[in-house]
Chain A
Amino acid sequence: MSAGANPIVHIEGLHKSFGDNEVLRGVDLEIAEGEVVCLIGPSGSGKSTLLRCVNLLEEPTEGSISAAGHDMTGPDADLDLARRDIGMVFQHFNLFSHMTILDNLVIPQMRVCKLPKDEAVAEARRLLAEVGIEGKERAKPSQLSGGQQQRVAIARALAVKPRLMLFDEPTSALDPEIVGEVLQVMKGLAAEGMTMLVVTHEMSFAREVADRVLFLDGGVIVESGPPAEVLSNPKTERARSFLHRVLHPVD
């Protein structure tokens, strides 16, 4: 794998089963600081599970994971502390529905990072402006469009100052014409040097932004390489047929 001396994510021999169903069957992965990695693959291939194992939302059945300088699977792991350094963006946004947009960013900073309120508010306003959400501070999440909610969700994840961002199909729940505004924010984030692991079906985003694309199938990484290589000249038949189905769904 093409990671440097000090990878920010290091996964070794990762297995994950739900009951009798083995979803991940031995995944090894290293991600270097500042790298943008896109995870693609058919549904049920284990992409989301792999992502959710990185911050231990799913507990691995076997294997070791370290991320953002924390030994996540170690016996002394302080997961609450570690997760501050690992931001996560969900398919369905998961903004706190009883809080205003501003509070969605302010409360985590106050409760998790123990910041005083005025500092948290200032930072929240800066982040909201950065993702292009203005004049919605007092609104509730349900009053925003999906694209706006997802941009707020990205800002919320950034509010606790993560070193690594996980994206779990961030545009899959959005109307097609809204996908672009979210990808634009993610692209900006990548340009700022954020390390990102993205589960996505947006092949053009992967092609344009990713440093590396991983093709996952049947719970293992089948192909890995620069986007031009994996997306244009897949070596395996499985990847070839998957990409054909994604890029030419009508055929």
Chain B
Amino acid sequence: MDAATATAAPERRMTPRQRRRLSRTIQYVVLAAIVIVLAVVADWGRIVDSFFQIDIAADMFPAVWIPFWNTIVYTVLAFIFGMAVGVPIALMRVSTFGPYRWFATGYVEIFRGLPALLVLFLVGFGVPQAFPGIQYPGGVYGQVAIGLGLTSSAYIAESVRAGIQAVPKGQVEAARSLGMSHTRTMITVVLPQALRIVIPPLTNELVMLTKDSSLVFVLGVTTATMELSKFARNALTSEANATPLLVGGLLYLLLTIPLGLLARRLEKRGEAR
């Protein structure tokens, strides 16, 4: 401490701790004010009327379980397709063989850059028009798996590539020095570690897919193949009330929040290794 600060200290009116407390109190007061103003200004009767009609919500059940289930199926199918294509693309991205790398880079750039909706249109309408007589396995389910999966595979490929590159070089050297081939090393040592590293971004991808499954309506779905968003919007139109949107939204959260929790658990387990 030099003389200047020593003499300046008594002039300060508040200690840092007091100042922190004051700033915190001000923030609480402002927040409380905003909440009170909103509560007073809002027309609560109207809000309850448009979002919280119990009988309208009740009417959606049990029919809503079919689109709810379809949302899960679309998501899982697209994710499986995305993994099945994305992991090989990731391996091609890190290949020492140029043409593989170029192809994989092009693939990722294209399907990461195109809107999911456009790719879905391409798969649903573009391809059948260009190749008449083409049949997707599983009908609309196959279309969705490929249509959403193509976009997803590009993101998955990038995540997995980052995971592969995050595996320490020493792991590869140890495997090669034991006489494992390049391919064997990838399968036995690198990929298992890489996939563990990318669990968080892959979970993210799964959550994104859950929401992107709401695009499926563009393929023209029937009651049996409808997903959650479309169902909620239909109900919105027929009831002229927003309650179905709230129910639909809650059902989405019912899927995505547990996924987030699961991811956090897996992440923790990864750290404990």
Contacts and interface: CB of A to CB of B under 8 A. Distances in A.
Contacts of B177: 55, 57, 83, 86-88, 157
Nearest to A142: B273
A77 to B, nearest CB: 13
Given A111-B184, A111-B188, A94 B170 contact: yes
Query: Which 9 pairs, one residue from A and one from B, show the smallest C-beta to C-beta distance?
Result: A84-B179, A94-B174, A94-B170, A88-B177, A83-B179, A112-B179, A108-B178, A80-B181, A98-B193
Contact of B178 (A83, A98, A140): A83
A96 B194 CA distance: 12
Nearest to A82: B179
B176 interface: yes
A97 B174 contact: no
Nearest to A92: B170
A16 interface: no
Contacts, number: 66
Given A111-B184, A111-B188, A95 B179 contact: no
Contacts of B188: 107, 111
Contacts of B49: none
Contacts of A142: 273
Interface of B: 168, 170-171, 173-181, 184, 188-189, 192-193, 196, 273
B185 to A, nearest CB: 10
A156 to B, nearest CB: 7
A98 B192 contact: yes
A81 interface: yes
Interface string A125-163: 000000000000000101000000000010011011000
A90 interface: yes
Interface residues of A, number: 28
A111 B180 contact: yes
A167 to B, nearest CB: 12
B98 to A, nearest CB: 19
A94 B175 CA distance: 9
B174 A90 contact: yes
A94 B180 contact: no
B171 A96 contact: yes
Given A86-B177, A97-B171, A112-B184, 5 more contacts: A57-B176, A83-B177, A84-B179, A98-B196, A157-B177
Given A94-B171, A97-B273, A140-B273, A156 B178 contact: yes
Contacts of A55: 177
B178 A90 contact: no
A160 B179 contact: yes
A112 B273 contact: no
Contacts of A97: 171, 193, 273
Contacts of A94: 168, 170-171, 173-174
A88 B175 CA distance: 10
A212 B246 CA distance: 80
B175 A96 contact: yes
A226 to B, nearest CB: 29
Nearest to B194: A98
B180 to A, nearest CB: 6
Contacts of B189: 96, 98
A83 B184 CA distance: 14
Nearest to B179: A84
B218 to A, nearest CB: 42
Nearest to B187: A111
Interface string A65-95: 0000000000000001111101110101011
Contacts of A98: 189, 192-193, 196, 273
- A80, A90, A107 — which one has the most chain B CB atoms within 10 A of its CB? A80
B166 to A, nearest CB: 12
A240 B216 CA distance: 77
A95 B180 contact: no
Most chain A CB within a 10 A radius of its CB, from B176, B178, B181, B192:
B178
Given A83-B178, A97-B273, A90 B173 contact: yes
Contacts of A88: 173-174, 177
B223 to A, nearest CB: 46
Interface in A37-62: 55, 57
B171 A108 contact: no
Contacts of A153: 174
Contacts of A92: 170
B202 to A, nearest CB: 16
A200 to B, nearest CB: 18
Interface string A7-35: 00000000000000000000000000000
